[in-house]
Structure 1
């Protein structure tokens, strides 16, 4: 895994911005830093050596026959098969790397090479004044792009690479703040920085002639779609899931460096660890006096059963306090999922012993793992009331203070497409309006992005499609990439594989959620390698006792300093925010998740818009 950045100019390019851009992401690839330059193009590449450690595989890589140049971040797991296919068509290779396979494959097949790639990738190819970029099917590897103040097209593996261009003036995208406060992340192709876009999963980008225009055209080559050809038989589902997951794990294990696994104690990471059987697994928890948050004991027990060595870390709350702003910096975008905190420390621990780790991300979205995929019994009863009555109660709810009752009254008048905006939902639209300053109250509601995914599908599939296209993209995979790359660690996710998806998309609803059991078919498939205690375990992650942290003086004072600042006044109703902070400190309400989202945004704004610590 690596990082790259670039600048494309219609005029002759003659400054050194590319070096500061690459330096900002050198943590992604400390093994080799290199550059490529011509009159219109400057590229920078930071390499983390995983496959083919030969220096000839360093990037940017140039094809000697055509002069085409590539920068590539990720891994293509079927590259050996593709290489043989290309060799059978007369293509010659100088390295054994997957990078050269992508480059030669593009020169041979054009954009149709994308349908042949199995893996995680973001790459850019330059050939005959043409630019071609692409991002993997599932959005595992990142790619950002935009224009600087000189009109140059700039791009990179992280947002901070673009911010580090000395001719780029970052400005806030005012429309994105509203949905961020609803979801704790920004969804869609637009970022929180005006004019900077993400290349979405399953998309490619082309600039046809850089001497004439730098305007990019994007196209879609893959999107998440549920199949009408349903698997309804449990035994068939078990067989196909096992076959697909086994095959994927075998491909993901391949590396020329040490490979380990993350292990939380839940079924997803346990299944991956049981199939991988690495030399070492890694787990974290918090201090023993907060034992309810320490799942690493479960991880230890499973590793003893599997015969795998476990490296455990108990995180001290003082370490969280000292590293909190660094975590926000490395997240790159404002993203307020508290699980980023243990993932940061887990990645640091793993990097001391391995270069690659396999993890269980994607199983919940593919196989129906979230509790919100089950019916909310209170909402279900409320929905049985006459619709006109529910609408009237919704009107009454507007004068009520924020509470669980108010939320249910608001939700009860909504259709599923308007009700469900994803697993990460932490605030209703009314709660967001209550907290925002007037300038931002009319920002884009997340439902403008999510409601379309309920079209022509059942309710469970609609919920999955929302999370596949939002929560997984801009929360789960974003934090996985940034927290691992902050420590130069490659994170691989075997569930996010085309063969696995081809099975998951066909599962009938009752094979995903059956009664109170989520991921039903996946749990049944995991019986082959996991003890009963594990394949029946409820969803586990690496939870954070932040509710308790924020009631302690050092965390409270840290938050108070930021939330009482003039910067806070620019975006939020400061008096409301400080009241929420006091309520939480006094134990009146649990406001820690929403308060954390405000804190993250303000620290991020200072780092990325005010450029404190960048450039």
Structure 2
């Protein structure tokens, strides 16, 4: 796991060297074991490639980057891991490619030389990389299918800049970073972020998951990002539920085998939920004798505590447990550090629990952890996507089944018939009608602390950024929504949290659910295999894990994860929060006095507590660090 940075500049100067060195300094925690950068002449311009290394596979100097192919035509900087690198290396050897290291980077470079972009679907792993081709005079930038690894880019004064973190992009830029008002509005009002190419910084973009872009080094022209992978929702009809169960089981276990490949210590982040429990139990299943260290956040004394389930799984597999209990004082102490690590605002304090889990792993000498992220978005987890499922059944004319599903679904904790019906209506509406219904449900697009006029003058869209899946068809609305969740809305934010939190402590977080084999299989199954007629989420996966994960864990009907007692924490920090919200950000659209007034009402119990409080806090502290 590493950090990469670089770009294309029309002229070479000492500023290029200095800015690239500063960018690598900004990412030192992503790669504390090695660093390097090189500048190359390219069509009367200059290309820079920089890298900071966290050594995981082949710990020797042979893994140093930038890495070059034997004849020197290609150079690469790569952030990530290719888990099937051994199998690819043998295939490439048979095609005549020599290898001098055990590095997956060398395999990736040879695969690119042999197959070009066609190598990408062959890769099982997480990756963001840039390849400099001297012959074609191109710089090609690539991000993995799910965006597990970050890739930011920007254009400025004729130059193209890229990096793994926005802090590094800021170091590369000559101009001062400014706030993107659209992203700020979407986050503050609707809690939306990481759902598109835009970032909180004007002119700084994400390369979207599963995309590639190319710089023409002769002209500096940047291609439009092209999609190299898109989810398919075409249903297969050749698998019974039992057959699908076996396919899911073997595909998941094979992914666990590959994700355990490492030359350093491997552990697991264990929340106690089904997904992380399945990862830990599968680790024991495929490696009966390997020591397993688990790392867990415990909300001790809270109704969101998962400690009993964490203990159940650790006992089942004979793992060495490591637990973290945190307080509001610790959150206040670490908040600025976490905001700096994240680089952009985020959704809730739950990621502080994750932050501390990675810190705990680092303290125990574990450099790689496996995590259950992504399972919900490919197997209809959370509350089971009831709106989409009801729409699918209605579109198929199965009205009796739709009513039965709603009735059964509503019997699970935290659900109701009215809640399911509302989601169905929301799923089947869009445009102005959707916005009206959101407003009637208490979701105001213009709260009192937002000033509409300055936003309108800037052309800011002042409504919920509703997105629909690029791939959809009648009767397949659940899997269509999963395809969107995997690539645009939902998972990208969670992956960002995990990447930045783990890298803050130089820990590599691996996500074995997120492979093309797993996703392609699960999105091809009938929707009833994912969310059962009884309202059971992840139905086929629960069946697949029978005999590997304890039945009582698989039969859980609640979902908590790394949930934190947010209201309790923030209530105990009232004086500190008050001082943060009083810092004048000088933003014409954000009425901080009104936000502070509403905050006082919430703290006094005169208005219900909402996550909006956290968004005010997070945005104000982030703005003070990165924009002010």
| Corresponding residue SS for 1:451 | coil
| Corresponding residue SS for 1:543 | coil
**Count, aligned residues:** 576
TM-score, normalisation: structure 2: 0.86
| Corresponding residue SS for 1:365 | helix
- Measured at CA, do residues 235 and 608 of structure 1 come closer, stay the same or move farther in structure 2, by a change above 3 Å? same
Cα distance in 2 for residues equivalent to 1:445 and 1:533? 46
- Measured at CA, do residues 5 and 356 of structure 1 come closer, stay the same or move farther in structure 2, by a change above 3 Å? same
Deviation of 1:568 after TM superposition, in Å, equals 6.6
Pairing of 1:119-158 with structure 2 (within 5 A):
119-128=125-134, 129-148=137-156, 150-158=157-165
1:431-463 CA deviation, whole Å, 9 max, x = no partner?
A: 445432222366346765512447425332233
Aligned partner of 1:513 in structure 2 is 531
Say whether the 8 Å CA contact 1:163–1:608 is kept in structure 2: no
- Measured at CA, do residues 116 and 462 of structure 1 come closer, stay the same or move farther in structure 2, by a change above 3 Å? closer
Say which of 191, 195, 199 aligns to 1:187: 195
- Measured at CA, do residues 285 and 440 of structure 1 come closer, stay the same or move farther in structure 2, by a change above 3 Å? farther
1:25-57 CA deviation, whole Å, 9 max, x = no partner?
A: 111010112121234122221100000111011
- Measured at CA, do residues 539 and 230 of structure 1 come closer, stay the same or move farther in structure 2, by a change above 3 Å? farther
Aligned partner of 2:360 in structure 1 is 349
Say which of 428, 439, 442 aligns to 1:416: 428
- Measured at CA, do residues 251 and 445 of structure 1 come closer, stay the same or move farther in structure 2, by a change above 3 Å? farther
| Corresponding residue SS for 2:129 | strand
Is 1:539 matched up with 2:570? no
- Measured at CA, do residues 543 and 200 of structure 1 come closer, stay the same or move farther in structure 2, by a change above 3 Å? same
Aligned partner of 2:39 in structure 1 is 37
Say whether the 8 Å CA contact 2:253–2:282 is kept in structure 1: yes
Say whether the 8 Å CA contact 2:387–2:421 is kept in structure 1: no
| Corresponding residue SS for 1:260 | strand
Deviation of 1:230 after TM superposition, in Å, equals 4.4
Say whether the 8 Å CA contact 1:22–1:161 is kept in structure 2: yes
Aligned partner of 2:485 in structure 1 is 467
Pairing of 1:411-450 with structure 2 (within 5 A):
414-416=426-428, 418=430, 430-438=444-452, 439-440=454-455, 443-444=460-461, 448=465, 450=467
Is 1:456 matched up with 2:437? no
- Measured at CA, do residues 260 and 411 of structure 1 come closer, stay the same or move farther in structure 2, by a change above 3 Å? closer
Is 1:313 matched up with 2:330? no
Say whether the 8 Å CA contact 1:10–1:211 is kept in structure 2: no
Cα distance in 1 for residues equivalent to 2:471 and 2:499? 28
Say which of 556, 569, 584 aligns to 1:549: 569
Pairing of 1:278-317 with structure 2 (within 5 A):
278-286=291-299, 288=300, 290-317=301-328
- Measured at CA, do residues 565 and 410 of structure 1 come closer, stay the same or move farther in structure 2, by a change above 3 Å? farther
Question: Which residues of structure 2 form unaligned runs of 5+?
Answer: 285-290, 392-415
Cα distance in 1 for residues equivalent to 2:25 and 2:202? 23
Cα distance in 1 for residues equivalent to 2:100 and 2:106? 8
Question: Which residues of structure 1 form unaligned runs of 5+?
Answer: 380-403, 611-615
Aligned partner of 1:400 in structure 2 is none
Say whether the 8 Å CA contact 2:198–2:206 is kept in structure 1: yes
| Corresponding residue SS for 2:467 | helix
Pairing of 1:344-423 with structure 2 (within 5 A):
344-353=355-364, 354-371=366-383, 373-375=385-387, 414-416=426-428, 418=430
Cα distance in 2 for residues equivalent to 1:410 and 1:526? 33
Deviation of 1:575 after TM superposition, in Å, equals 4.1
TM-score, normalisation: structure 1: 0.88
Say whether the 8 Å CA contact 2:469–2:481 is kept in structure 1: no
| Corresponding residue SS for 1:582 | helix
Cα distance in 2 for residues equivalent to 1:545 and 1:221? 41
Cα distance in 1 for residues equivalent to 2:185 and 2:539? 35
Say which of 268, 275, 280 aligns to 2:275: 268
Is 1:562 matched up with 2:562? no
Moved over 6 A (4+): 376-379, 407-413
- Measured at CA, do residues 311 and 174 of structure 1 come closer, stay the same or move farther in structure 2, by a change above 3 Å? same
Say whether the 8 Å CA contact 2:2–2:78 is kept in structure 1: yes
Is 1:18 matched up with 2:20? yes
